[in-house]
Structure 1
Amino acid sequence: MRKRFKKLRVDMKEMSKEQHSGKQMQRQVEARLRTVQEECDRLRDETDQIIRQSADTQARLALMFDILKARERGDFNKAAQLTRLLR
């Protein structure tokens, strides 16, 4: 009976250690997930910023093209108006 109790105590200590180890691993995984989520959010923000900048650049290029076309046609009033818009 004493041997059984000793064995049970040893088994309980091992289970406790394993449980502690499992909780520790869970904390590490949660920390990694938070890090990955933060990186994801940062990359999403950077991507949104690049998209906005690209749209701004497209709009400016379109204005410049319209300015060139207006100058070719000799419509300098329209070219001046578009140039003010560009600024």
Structure 2
Amino acid sequence: MVATSMIKEEEKKASKPRMKSLKTRVQRIKADMGKIREDQRCIREEQRDIGERFGDVKRQCHELRLETEMIVKQSAFNRIRLGLMFNILRARQDGDFDKATAFTGFLSSISDAGKL
């Protein structure tokens, strides 16, 4: 019986350091989990911010594309008008006033349509 009680006492002594190291490990793991949780929260916030910035960039890209298309159309329209003006001047120089009148009427009609 004495031997059994001595063994139990020795087991208690041996288990106390194990329990202490186990508690320390559990506390360390909990602290690590808390840090990981905080890191994940920061990552989610950064992803949200990046998503918003990406949306802004995408919207600005769309606006620039629309502006570019409008500039290209306006440039083509201006080239047509300049070509007609050149033809009007050439017809007048050649004395072909019927042709100059026709070009002038056409220029007037497309200029009015361009204002709409």
Count how many residue pairs are aligned between Structure 1 and Structure 2. Answer: 87
Return the letter of the residue paired with 2:47: Q
Q: Which structure's relative contact order is higher, taking Cα pairs within 8 Å and 6+ residues apart?
A: 1
Using the size of structure 1 for normalisation, the TM-score is: 0.97
- Structure 2-normalised TM-score? 0.73
The alignment yields a C-alpha RMSD, in angstroms, of 0.6
Paired with 2:90 and 2:60, the residues of 1 have a C-alpha distance of 45
Larger Rg: 2
Q: Which 5+ residue runs of structure 2 have no aligned equivalent?
A: 1-21, 109-116
1:1-87 correspondence runs (5 A): 1-87=22-108
- Structure 1: give runs of 5+ residues left out of the alignment: none
Partner letter of residue 71 of structure 2? I
Could you tell me how far apart the structure 2 residues matched to 1:71 and 1:22 are? 73
Query: Which portions of structure 1, spanning 4 or more consecutive aligned residues, are displaced by more than 3 angstroms?
Result: none
Amino acid in structure 1 at the alignment position of 2:104 = T
Counterpart residue type for residue 59 of structure 1: I
- For 1:39, the aligned partner's letter is Q
